[in-house]
């Protein structure tokens, strides 16, 4: 009786979810590096979510230990020139850096993909206006453009996110335009039109999902670049301001002491920055295979 009352949607949802997890397990088994990269990414997420509640010291409190104390059992990564615990600051900074990276890449992906998809599908004046806009952004060195935006708008976290999103916009717009232009007259697109679908439904329901595999690789790369961009802005004083823990600020502050032998002030936040960028660069191939419709057949 229970099975006879089940709706068709409920009966098909479970096999769809099961097929998705089977595909995920297949991708992990096919390329062990993909599994390692996903594990590292999950570790970063856990550190960002729960790290601030697990660190042994307040990351902004001075006098947690003697100033410029080298790594020890009491302070795993040592202390800085104000006696703040470096380990606590590195862990807590993960949340802010990941938040900046994810927010900026999400904005640039959504707006860039929409602009590029409309440009590649409809062409004409839509393509010309979008092309000139992307050319204007690409005409400037991207980091210099980000510096100008933050300097003009103010060095807040929100403006860092907006600046990073703007400089990454052309990557998604151009890639989406190229992928949509290739597929807009394909056989499955003609079949979707003949089935009575609207132009926007054909574009975003049938063409756009097939453009995601290369875009996923670009997203993973941009996540690393966004973290480096935020760290670079903080390093030159245009990013997140002290005493907020952030990897770029910590490297900038530690650079003043590395000559005198306090290497831990630079090495540990620098290693965290390197690990995050390495993780996002490594995860790209796995994301591409995961969202590729052809790999699920």
Does domain 20-296 fall under CATH 1.10.510.10? My reply is no
pTM, two decimals, is 0.81
The whole-angstrom separation of Cα 101 and Cα 99 is: 5
The whole-angstrom separation of Cα 93 and Cα 263 is: 19
Give the three-class secondary structure for 85: strand
The predicted structure's pLDDT at residue 108? 94
Q: What is the pLDDT of residues 85-139, one digit of tens each?
A: 999 999 999 999 999 999 999 999 999 999 999 999 988 898 999 999 999 999 9
Complete DSSP assignment for 144-188: HHHHHHHHHH-S-HHHHHHHHHHHHHHHHHHHHHHHHHHHTTSHH
Q: What is the pLDDT of residues 31-63, one digit of tens each?
A: 677 778 888 889 999 999 998 898 989 888 887
The predicted structure's pLDDT at residue 162? 93
| pLDDT lower than 50: segments of the chain | 1-6, 8-11
Q: Cβ contacts of residue 89 below 8 Å, gap of 6+?
A: 59, 80, 245, 250, 269
The whole-angstrom separation of Cα 194 and Cα 184 is: 14
Q: Which two tokens stand for residue 208?
A: 């756009």
Could you tell me which of 193, 234, 222 has the C-alpha nearest to residue 280?
222
User: 265: buried, middle or exposed (CB in 10 Å: 19+, 13-18, 0-12)?
Assistant: buried
Residue 248 CB coordination number (10 Å): 25
Q: Cβ contacts of residue 68 below 8 Å, gap of 6+?
A: 78, 79, 80, 81, 257, 262, 265
Q: What residue spans define the domains of the chain?
A: 20-296
The predicted structure's pLDDT at residue 172? 93
Beta bridge partners of 85: 79
Give the three-class secondary structure for 79: strand
The predicted structure's pLDDT at residue 269? 92
């Amino acid at each position: 009786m229970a099975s006879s009352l089940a709706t068709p949607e409920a009966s098909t949802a479970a096999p769809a979810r099961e097929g998705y997890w089977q595909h995920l397990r297949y991708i992990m088994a096919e390329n062990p590096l993909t599994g390692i990269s996903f594990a590292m990414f999950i570790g970063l997420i856990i550190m960002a979510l729960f790290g601030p509640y697990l660190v042994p010291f307040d990351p902004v409190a001075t006098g947690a230990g003697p100033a410029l104390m080298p790594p020890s059992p009491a302070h795993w990564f040592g202390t800085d020139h104000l006696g703040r615990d470096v380990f606590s600051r590195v862990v807590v900074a993960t949340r802010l850096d990941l938040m900046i990276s994810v927010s900026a890449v999400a904005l640039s992906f959504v707006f860039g993909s929409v602009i590029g998809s409309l440009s590649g599908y409809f062409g004409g004046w839509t393509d010309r206006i979008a092309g000139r806009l992307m050319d204007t952004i690409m005409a400037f060195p991207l980091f210099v453009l980000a510096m100008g935006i933050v300097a003009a708008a103010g060095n807040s976290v929100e403006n860092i996110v907006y600046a990073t999103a703007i400089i990454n916009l052309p990557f998604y717009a151009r890639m989406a335009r190229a992928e949509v232009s290739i597929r807009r007259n394909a056989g499955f697109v003609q079949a979707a039109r003949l089935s009575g679908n609207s132009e926007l439904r054909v574009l975003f329901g049938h063409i756009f999902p097939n453009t995601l595999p290369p875009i996923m690789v670009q997203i993973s790369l941009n996540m690393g670049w966004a973290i480096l961009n935020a760290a670079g802005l903080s390093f030159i004083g245009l990013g997140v301001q002290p005493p907020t823990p952030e990897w770029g600020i910590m490297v900038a502050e530690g650079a003043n002491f590395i000559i005198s032998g306090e290497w831990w002030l630079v090495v540990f936040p620098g290693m965290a920055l390197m690990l995050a960028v390495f993780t996002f660069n490594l995860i790209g191939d796995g994301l591409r295979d995961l969202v590729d419709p052809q790999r699920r057949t």
